[in-house]
Amino acid sequence: MKSSILTKLFVLSLGTLGFHVQAQVQQDSLTNKLVSLNEVVVEGEDRSDPVFSMVESEHAKKVVQPKNVADLFKDINGFALIKRGNYAIDPSFRASQYEQLNVQFNGGTKVMHACPNRMDPITTHVIPEEIERIEVVKGPYTFRYGATFGGLINLVTHDVEKGEKGYHGRVEFGDETNGNSITSLVNLKLVEDKYDVNANFGYRNFGNYEDGNGVEVPSSFKSTDYGLQMGYNLGKKQRLQMEFRQSFGRDVLHAGLPMDTEEDNSTVLSLDYKWQDLGGILSTLRSKVYYSGVDHIMTNELRPSFMMTEAVSNVDADTFGGRLELEWKPVADLKLFTGMDALSIGREGERVRLVKMNMAGNPLLVPIEFIDDVWQDSKIEDYGLFVEGQYPVTDKLLLKGGVRYDLALSESRDPDEDFAALYPELDSRTENNISATASLKYGIAKNLLVEFAYGRGVRSANMIERFINHFNVGQDPFEHVGNPFLEAEVNNQFEVGVKGKVDFEGPFVDQLRYGASTYYSIYENYIAPLIDESLQRKYMPMAQPQAVKRFVNLEDAYKTGFEVFGEIQFLDHFNFKSEVAHVYTKNKDLDEALPLTPPLVTRFNLGFEREKIWARGTYTLTSEQADIADSFGEQVTAGYGVLDLRFGAKPFKHVNLGVAAINVFDKAYNNHLNFAFVNQADFGRVPINDPGRNLSFFVQYSF
């Protein structure tokens, strides 16, 4: 982006404070007749919400200066973050991650990463300040939005059409001390009866942060994003909406990956249409088509290995998709959803290596160039058909069920010679997957609900697991080799839960809210990379480790866990909330835990809120993680506690202010899911510490 444009962006920041959020929520009434396109979950509607679903929408009070969208999951019970630095952050939920989670935004749009090391996950391609709410279905309990294995995550941007009529906007600016980092956003919108327009322009510049020991972690990055959304209401029952956004990452340092990002460019285009209240048996028609493209350039120019070998990788990913859904009401109270969807992912690219020294460290008179095919010009397509229904048997009992069929096609159109030799029968492949779910909700009392669910979620192997060829794509330093003949992995998940509330009329306690759920998942054909003694290291054959991992199906694996929360509202303006989340996994084939299993986490939140002022203190206690996957190079991670303090105020009608102190006691710690330093001059292969104390300030002006 030109410097003049960036200069115009230097305006005011991060937090849409709680009062602005509350105003939005009040307008998002279920009695609103506007046609809404983006929801998967309608919060608080027990007869419409998928079983075991939740909505988080107070990000301004929970997150200060989110590096990317993944930071919004930081304080959501059951979630953990997989960090490779400050930029490439992935959410993990109940020890499911990557393509095990169906992550999308606005009800179906997907952005697939181009980098095999996930330097560019979907969370880097949408502005965090754009996200109004996060909708989560905690398991394979709905299949209307694609094949779902471990859970569905829908990132919903602001519903502009529900805003006040006229011309509005906001400018935001944020600054934080640890890394001397800034965020900024300009938002302009016009809302009329027939049409609405929404435009965003954001810039983020994060420096290297220091951990609690004062050690500087290479993690800086810059990103520039803009987006345009236009909607047109075809009467009171129909809406057409177009979204276009681009994101540009520059000079991104990845402490936990072997290379850094020089450029990361993405484009997302989507078109949505909805026609509701058709009359008769057919109630609603919904459709979506979208395209996303990611161009990614990474180098090792700033790494120690550059002296011996220069490496540049230029890779790209193209994703096409769409869905068509019909909602039926064949009889009173019965809702039936039928539909189809499609997803096509294509990746290609190469790594160019210029070897300047031999293994003895002596310079070569003439450097030798090698070209390595990263993706082998691979393609994966998925075509799905689904049927889901829900029926209230009584006023207290609601039954839901659904079935999904997926036709999965995969192909490597330009395989390397050694990969073709390893798999002589390599050809295009077709898989047929069946997923199913059944659940019920039972209202024991007015404010007490019990939920039971079973889901069979099926996920075909992703492109890395199928077609990667001797690249390091994991937490450990092993080369990995894909397996195009992997069986689809299956999650048979059983879950039971309860949630409720109690209102009090006394002078001290106003309300008690509580909930708990426990689950057990039996995995079939779980996909994991294991050492294959028949394979030899391909690149730098004398380097350690010389063993190679190949993706295989495990025969016997499972996970189990629970989440519990309780919240008390007292003295009109105070609240105290406690949450606990724990997951236990087992790979019986190797008698160890599954990789990337997060430790037990307990949170304590004390809050105060009035019309023009709010405050919150959060103490997060993370336990030691001793249940580890030795075969993945995992180590026991010590427990730790971190205190965060946040304060916000609305001193004037259009101005919101906020300050925060994150990691108040400057604790030096690393989460179990953090990657280790790789190819860094001043660090051995030890886990990356999280940031130390960080003081943050943000201001927002809206009009």
pLDDT greater at residue 411 or residue 42: 411
pLDDT of residue 10 exceeding 70: no
Confidence class of residue 15 from pLDDT cuts 50, 70 and 90?
A: very low
pLDDT for position 47: 63
pLDDT of 327: 96
Average pLDDT over residues 170-193: 94
For residue 13, pLDDT over 60 is answered with no
Q: What percent of the chain has pLDDT over 70?
A: 93
Is residue 66 scored above 80 in pLDDT? no
Average pLDDT over residues 271-278: 95
Mean pLDDT within 603-607:
97
- pLDDT at site 43: 66
Please answer whether residues 120 and 109 qualify as being in contact, where contact means their C-beta atoms are separated by less than 8 angstroms: no
- How distant, in Å, are the alpha carbons of 78, 81, 363, 553, 667 from that of 580? 8, 16, 56, 32, 21
> Shortest CA distance to 313 belongs to which of 269, 270, 258?
258
Q: Which two tokens stand for residue 363?
A: 């310079």
Task: Give residue 173's pLDDT.
Answer: 93
Lowest-confidence region among 16-30, 59-73, 443-457, 537-551 = 16-30
The predicted pLDDT at position 41 comes to: 84
**In the numeric block, which tokens belong to residue 641?**
């506690």
Query: pLDDT category, 58, cuts 50, 70, 90?
Result: low
Cβ-in-10-Å burial (0-12, 13-18, 19+) of 26 comes to exposed
Work out the number of other CB atoms within 10 angstroms of the CB of residue 140.
30
Residue 25 scores a pLDDT above 90:
no
What's the confidence (pLDDT) of residue 27? 34
What pLDDT does 535 receive? 93
pLDDT, tens digit, for every residue of 415-430? 999 999 999 999 999 9
pLDDT at 623 over 80: yes
| Tens digits of residue pLDDT in 484-500 | 999 999 999 999 999 99
Closest CA to 550 of 612, 493, 484: 484
CA–CA dist 195, 201 (Å, integer): 21
pTM: 0.91
For residue 44, which amino acid is it? G
Q: Any idea of the CA torsion for 144, 147, 150, 153, to the nearest 10 degrees?
A: -50
Least confident of 41-45, 133-137, 268-272, 433-437: 41-45
Report residue 589 CA to chain centroid gap: 29
57 vs 473, which has greater pLDDT? 473
Percent of the chain topping pLDDT 90: 80
Q: What is the mean pLDDT of residues 223-230?
A: 96
Whole-number pLDDT of residue 44: 61
Question: Is residue 302 classed exposed, middle or buried when 0-12, 13-18 and 19+ CB atoms within 10 A define those classes?
Answer: middle
Confidence of residue 645 (pLDDT cuts 50, 70, 90): very high
How far, in Å, CA of 348 to CA of 415, rounded?
A: 11
- 4: confidence class by pLDDT, cuts 50, 70, 90: very low
H or E segment and range at residue 418? helix 417-422
Cis peptide before 330 (omega within 30 of 0): no
Whether the predicted pLDDT of 19 surpasses 50? no
**Of 126-130, 245-249, 693-697, where does mean pLDDT reach its minimum?**
126-130
Half-sphere exposure of 676 (CA within 13 A, CB side): 18
Q: Indicate whether 3 pLDDT > 70.
A: no
Mean pLDDT of 59-70: 61
Q: Is the pLDDT of residue 100 over 90?
A: yes
Checking if the pLDDT of 389 tops 70, the result is yes
| Cα–Cα distance measured from residue 10 to residue 174, given in angstroms and rounded to the nearest whole number | 10
